[in-house]
Structure 1
C-alpha cells in the first residue's frame, strides 16, 4: 500500500459514563468477554453497523453491554481517536461519547461483556484496555471543566442541599480539598447558581446549615475556576 492509496478502516464508538457514587467519581466499565484483551476492563463500546449513525450506535452498545438506556442520557461527543496501533484487530477509529449523570442504576452485563459495573476512576484509570486510559483521562478533564463553567454540580445534590454538599461534589470531581469559606463566598456571589430555600438542615450534632436549591442559570458568570497549583482553592 502506497501513501497515496485510500485507507480502509472500521469505525467504532466508545462511551464514558461518569457519575458520583459513594462519595467518589465513578465510571461505567465492562469486563471484556472476548479477545482482544479478554478479561480486561474497558469502556463500553463497539463497531458501527450498517444503517446506524454514531449516536444510534452509542445508544445500542450501551444497552447491549450494560443494560443502561443511552436515550435518556445527555450523550455528547468527546473526541475522535485514531492512532494506527490503538486496536490490534486493525485500523479502527473511535468516536468517544461522554455522559455525566446522577442516580444511575447498577448495570447488567450483556453482549460481549462478561461483567459491567461502576468503578472509582482512581482505581481503573491506568488499567483499561485499548487506549481507554487516555479516553477516560480526557473525559474526566471535560467533566472538571464543565464544573468550572456550568451549574452541573447542582444536579448531583438533590432537590435541596447545603453549600457543603455542593462543595463535596466539586472536591470529588476535581480531586482536591477546597477551603469552605472561600468556596461558599464564590458560590453565593455567582448570579443564578443557587437560591436559598429559607429553611435549614438540622444535624444531630453541630450547627444548622442553610438549604439551597438549583438556580436558574446554566452557565456560571463568572466561572468557578480550579485553583492553580500552590494556590488556595
Structure 2
C-alpha cells in the first residue's frame, strides 16, 4: 500500500432510524480486517468527525448499517468534498437506508432501500468474478440474509457485482434483475456497497467475511 496515504479507517455507525444488533460484531470484523492490512480502524457515532481536518486522516470511511439522517449540511459538504477529491467509501447493509434528505447520498451509496421480506435463504449469483469482493465466492452462493429491495434498479449508474435470484425466496419486488452489491464513483472517489450483513453471525462467517474483506481491500489498497 502507498506509504503516503493515511493508515486509518473510520467506521461510522450512527443511527437515527432502525438500529441493527449486528453493529458491534461488524465493527469488530472491520477492525480485524483492517489490522490484517496494517491499518487501524476507529469507530465513531460522532457526526462531528465529518469535517475536513478529521476526514483527511482516513483512507476509507465505512458506513456500517448507519441509518436515518445522520449528518448536518456542513458535515455532508465536508464528506462529499473529501470523497470527490479521491476518498473511498464502503457501505454495508443498512447504509442504503441513510441520508434520505441528501440527494447526493444516493450517488454515493448507489441506491436507496425500500423494503425487505422476512429473513430467508436465497441464491446469489456472482456477476463479476474478477472483483476482490467476489473473486473467492462460489459462482452460486446459497446464503441466508435480509434481502433488500431498492427504489429503482441501480444498474447503469453502478457496476453490479452480485445479484439475488428472486425465484429462490419469497417477497422480492425488484424482478428478474436484482442487484445486491456494486461499486460506485463520486467525482474522483470510489465506493463499494453490499446489501448483505444483517445478522451478527455474518461477521464470523468465512464466506461473508471474504466478501467484506475483498470489498474493503478494493478501496484501501
CA radius of gyration, larger in: 1
Q: Same fold (TM over 0.5)?
A: no
TM-score with structure 1 setting the length: 0.24
Higher RCO by CA contacts (8 Å cutoff, separation 6 or greater) = 2
